[in-house]
Each structure stands twice: as structure tokens, then as C-alpha cells.
Structure 1
Amino acid sequence: MKIVIFGSGGVGGYFGARLAAAGNDVTFVARGAHFEAMRSLGLRVVNPLGDVSLPEVEVVNRVAQIKYADFVFLTVKLWDTQQAIPELVPLAERGAAVISFQNGVQKEEVLLRVLPKPSVMGGVSYISAAIQEPGVIRHFGPIQNLVFGEFDGAGSQRALELLSACESARIGARISNEIEREIWEKFVFLVGLSATTATMRQPIGAIRTNEQTRGFLLDVMRETVNVGRARGVTLAKDYADQQLEFCDTLPAEMTASMYQDLLRGNRLELPWLSASVAELGEKMGIPVPRNRAVTDILALYVAGHKSD
């Protein structure tokens, strides 16, 4: 199976390395120092489940260098999506299935404006991983799961083939016949975690144990559920309450990646998280004051503020 990893950071680098180590034909698309390191030294994953070391990997810095693929994992940062999609058109037209494992709930809409509809599958990733240094990915914690499926809910041979490849690579994976709901379920949690840890500059443990901040977290997630349900997504009415209970099971020191990006002065994915909820809610006349507040509080930091 030929798999292209378009965006070889924490998510793409980790899952791509696992699939390559299991014998799949994996081509990584990377850039800058990460590309140079992978080209000369290969790719290494530092992993509590066992390190993965690939002394040689197939890596390119332009998708146009790839002629064919069975699957493309789209794992670039969300702000790169609009620019990245046109590069995928030739692969999609030659039969590649394109799966976005990015955050957010509007990414597939962007894909479908450019790519043939049959080429797009839905996907969700659950992992905490990042580039430790060029050519090295660090995986934090044991969670490393992929969920994917066809948007019409039908079973497909390509989904079964990808599931088999993931299982052989010891990746936690499953097929969903309600992939849109799965995408929104992760979105509800992610919006809540990113909104609160970034605005409050505290990990989830502190936030969930304070009555006021716990209530704010719940309200952020409830607004997100309300927006999703208004768009026809089959989220349970009490899904935000369920996710709050899930937050009680998380390591107390856990934060969202957006909080880490804020600390490092990196660009934020805010426009695709709370700001997206605020925009969708206001268009539909649904009250979203908490997500609007988060959007306003973090507005100064969206573009990043690195001193270098």
C-alpha cells in the first residue's frame, strides 16, 4: 500500500513512521530543516510504546514529485490547508483517497471545493506528539488512535485495507459509519481544552477543580454542541456534560497544543476552533458568548509573536 504523509510533524510523522516500519510504501512530504534531516538521517520516533527508528525514508518537499498513492494523510497545519489542497488534485484524480486528520470541522468543506467528492474520506486522530528536533518525533503518552470512514456511512474496501495496514503497524484504529459525528465529538472536547488552557494559562487539572473555570469549560463545550446539533450533527444533548466527566479522567498536567503554541509564540489554530464556533453560531443565531470571549482574548496572539 502506498501512503503519502502530507505534513510530517507530530501527527503525520508518528503515524507515517509506524506504517513505514510495518512495511508499507510511505512517502513523507516535509520542508525546511525537518526535510533535510529526514533526507540525510531518516526519521526517529521517541515513544513510550517503543521507539521507532527508520535510518532511511522516502521524503520529498513537493507533492508534485509523487505520481501515485492509495492514501494521502493530510496532516499539515490548518492554515496551510487552502494552499496545500490544489497540490493533491493530480493524486486524487488518479485514485488516491484523501483523509484529513487535522483539527476542526470545516476542513472537509474546503477539500470538497477542490477535490473530486469520491476521493475524500473523513478522519480523526487521537495523539499527543510533536517534532522534538528535525528528524525526531516525540510521542507523549500511550494514546495513538485513528478513526476513519466514508461520509455516506457505507462500508468500503479501501477503509478495510487501511484498517488492516494500521492494525499491522500496531496503530489503534477503527472504521466509523458516522464519521461526521466522530469529527464533531473530538471538536467539542478540543475546543473546550484549547479555549480554557490557552486563555487561563493553566493545565486541565487546575481548571476542572475550580467552580468558576469548570463552569466556563462546560459552557464552551455546550455552545459547541449546540452549534453542531443546529447543523444536523447527531450529537447527544448532554454530550458536553459527558466530555466534562471525561476531562476529570485526564492527567492533571494536560494542556492543549494551542496552549503550547501560545507559550512558544507560534501561530494559533484559533480560527478553526473557538473562532469557528463563534462564527458558525452567530450566522445561525445561536448564542456563543464564551467562544466569542475566547476569540477576542486570544486575538492578539493568533499570528504568533516570536521575537526572532
Structure 2
Amino acid sequence: MRIGIIGAGGVGGYFGARLATAGDEVTFVARGRHLAAIREHGLTVRSPLGDMRVPSDAVVPSISDLAAPDLIVVAVKLWDTEDVARQLAPLAEGGAAVVSFQNGVRKDTVLGRHLPAGSILGGVSYISAFIEEPGVVVHNGTLQRLVFGEYDRKESPRSRLFLDRCLAAGIDAEISGDIERTIWEKFVFLVGLSATTSAVRQPIGVVRGTAGSRSLLRDVMHEVVDVGRAKGVALDPGFADDRLAFCDTLPATMSSSMHNDLLRGNRLEVGWLSGAVADLGAELGVATPRNRAVADILSPYALGDPAAAA
């Protein structure tokens, strides 16, 4: 396949490198120092599953530089989605499929404002990876999984082809028969992990091991389940307890990307996570006091370290 990867960070860099190594024609869109480093030295991915290197000619600075891709993977931060969607419109109208592996439940709604509805596949990624330095992506652990599918719940030729390419690349991948539910199921856990590790400023081991913060974790996730069910998503009423039990199996040192961004003084996705839960709850008449509190607590840091901006 000809695959365009918008964003060469942890998600886009890792999965794109795997596909490129397996023989697919992968082109990354990157910017800034990351772009400059890849152009000079190529993209290096360090992983317990095997290191990879993508040559320097596989990166371009603009979406308009992509040459008729079959599939476009969106892997940028959520606040860039609207701008990316506008730029993707000509490619999607020309027949390219688009799948976002970003966080959140509103990403495909934003894409749908600018792209043909039939061009969009739903997608979820499971991986811990990050840019260690410009031109270098590091994969933590061995978890690396993609789940995707059509919103009409039918298995399409394009989703089957992408699955085949992922499996050939050694990616743990699956087609979901209910991708909206799959996205929400990840969202429940993601919001819980992001909200609590960021608000408490500690990894999951501390959060789950202290009575008060454990209660916060459970309540945050339960509110997400309530909002999802109010939207008509077929989430089990007890799914928050299931995810709490899952949190007990995680390495104690595990944290969230939002917590890492907070510690580094970077911009946060809180408005798309707990903030989105609170906003959707208000629209649907569902109480979300825990998520609203987290969104309010983190609001001074939403655009980065307030001390740096002072």
C-alpha cells in the first residue's frame, strides 16, 4: 500500500516504520526539528521487538507533498486535527481512506466536517512510544496494537487489505465489528489514566494504591461510561470496574502521555479528554463532577507551563 503518516511521533513513527520495513510505500509528514533530523539521518525507532530505521527520503514537510496515497494515518495531537482535516480533503475526495489513531472520541467528528463520510475508518492504537530526541522514536515495552474498522460495521476490502499489511509487518492488529464501541472502551481507560496521573502528578501505582485517588480513578471512568451510554454506545454498565481491575495489572511506574506533557511544560490534551467528557455530559444531561474538576484543575496548564508564559 501507499501510506501517508501525518505525524511521525510515538504512534505514527512506530507503526509507520513497521509498515515501511515490511515493504509498504510509507511517507511521513513531519515538521520542525524532527523533520530536519529525519531528513539528515532518517527516522530511527528503538524497540524491544527490534530496532528500525527509515531512510531520509521517506519524509516530507507538507500534506500536499503526499503522492496519491491509498491510506492516510492521522497521528497528530488532537488540537491539530481541524487543520489537518482541511488539508486532507483533496486526497480523501480523490479516493484515499483516512484512519485516525489519535486519542479521544471526537476526532472522527472533526475529520467528518471536512472529509467525505465514506473516506473515514475508525481506529484505536495501543502503544507506549515517544520522541526521545529529534529523529528518534522509542517504544516502551512490547505492546503495539491497532484496531480499526468501518463505521457501518461491515468488513471492507480496504480494511482487510490494511489488516493484511499490518500483520505482514508484525503489528498486532484486528478489524473491529463495532469500532465506535471500541473507541469508547479505550476512551474510558484513557481518560481515567490521564486524568488521575496528571491531577495527582504520580504514576498509576500511587494512584491505584491510595484510597482517595483510587476512588477518583474509578469515578472518572464511571462518568465516561455514563456519558457513552447516554450517547447510545453499547458499553457495559460495569465497564469502569472492569477497567479498574485492568489498572491493577499495569506496571506501577506506568503513567500517561498527558502526565508526561504536564511535567515537561507542554500543551495538554485535557480539553479533548476530561474536558470533552464534561462538555458531552452537559449536552446529554449526565453529571460529570469528577471530570469537570480535573479539567478545571488542569486548565492553567492546558496551553503549557503557565510560568513559562508569564
Work out whether the TM-score is over 0.5: yes
What amino acid sits opposite 1:51 in the alignment?
D
Q: How far is the alpha carbon of 1:307 from its aligned partner?
A: 3.3
Q: Which residue of 2 aligns with 1:179?
A: 179
Q: Which residue of 2 aligns with 1:60?
A: 60
**C-alpha distance in 1, partners of 2:58/2:274?**
37
Q: Which residue of 2 aligns with 1:271?
A: 271
Q: How far is the alpha carbon of 1:284 from its aligned partner?
A: 1.4
Indicate the percent of aligned positions where both proteins have the same amino acid. 57
Matched, 1:51 2:51: yes
The runs of at least 4 consecutive aligned structure 1 residues that moved more than 6 Å come to none
1:148 and 1:174 in contact (8 A); partners too: yes
Give SS of 1:151's match: coil
**C-alpha distance in 2, partners of 1:44/1:65?**
22
**TM value normalised by structure 1:** 0.98
**TM value normalised by structure 2:** 0.98
Q: Deviations over 1:215-240 (max 9, x none)?
A: 11000000000000000000001000
What amino acid sits opposite 1:158 in the alignment?
R
Q: Which residue of 1 aligns with 2:28?
A: 28
**C-alpha distance in 1, partners of 2:91/2:206?**
46
Give SS of 2:5's match: strand
Consecutive unaligned residues of structure 1, counting only runs of 5 or more, are: none
Q: Which residue of 1 aligns with 2:229?
A: 229
What amino acid sits opposite 2:50 in the alignment?
G
**C-alpha distance in 2, partners of 1:165/1:159?**
10
Q: How far is the alpha carbon of 1:43 from its aligned partner?
A: 0.9
Q: Deviations over 1:160-197 (max 9, x none)?
A: 10001001110110000100000000000000000000
Aligned length: 308
RMSD after superposition: 1.0
Give SS of 1:307's match: helix
Give SS of 1:249's match: coil
1:203 and 1:255 in contact (8 A); partners too: yes
Q: Deviations over 1:76-115 (max 9, x none)?
A: 1000111111110111011111001000001111111110
Q: How far is the alpha carbon of 1:134 from its aligned partner?
A: 1.0
**C-alpha distance in 2, partners of 1:213/1:86?**
40
What amino acid sits opposite 1:213 in the alignment?
S
1:95 and 1:119 in contact (8 A); partners too: yes
**C-alpha distance in 2, partners of 1:169/1:29?**
20
Q: Which residue of 2 aligns with 1:37?
A: 37
**C-alpha distance in 2, partners of 1:199/1:240?**
19
Give SS of 2:258's match: helix
Give SS of 1:128's match: strand
**C-alpha distance in 2, partners of 1:273/1:32?**
26
Give SS of 2:308's match: coil
What amino acid sits opposite 1:155 in the alignment?
E
1:43 and 1:57 in contact (8 A); partners too: no
Q: Deviations over 1:192-219 (max 9, x none)?
A: 0000000001111111111221111000
